[in-house]
Amino acid sequence: MIELGVFFGAMGLAALWMIRTLLRRGNRSTETADGLRIEQAGRELASAARVSYSSTAVHGSLTQSHTYRP
């Protein structure tokens, strides 16, 4: 029973540490022009990846299945 208490205590401490880290980090934005360009390029790359790897793009072909008969 003591082992369970130690285990859950360690898990709780890890969770609190992660919450503390996220709250300290905050939502800081980049202030320099180079940093803003890097962030914009990252957003554009993520948007393109979301479109090209969407379910419709990957599984959208009607002829992909063997049961399709025109």
Per-residue pLDDT of the chain (70 residues; tens, 9 = 90+): 999 999 999 999 999 999 998 888 766 766 788 888 988 999 999 988 887 777 776 666 555 555 655 5
Confidence at residue 64, expressed as pLDDT on a 0 to 100 scale: 56
Q: How far apart are CA 45 and CA 53, in angstroms?
A: 12
pTM of the model: 0.41
Q: Is 48 helix (H, G, I), strand (E, B) or coil?
A: helix
Q: How far apart are CA 53 and CA 55, in angstroms?
A: 7
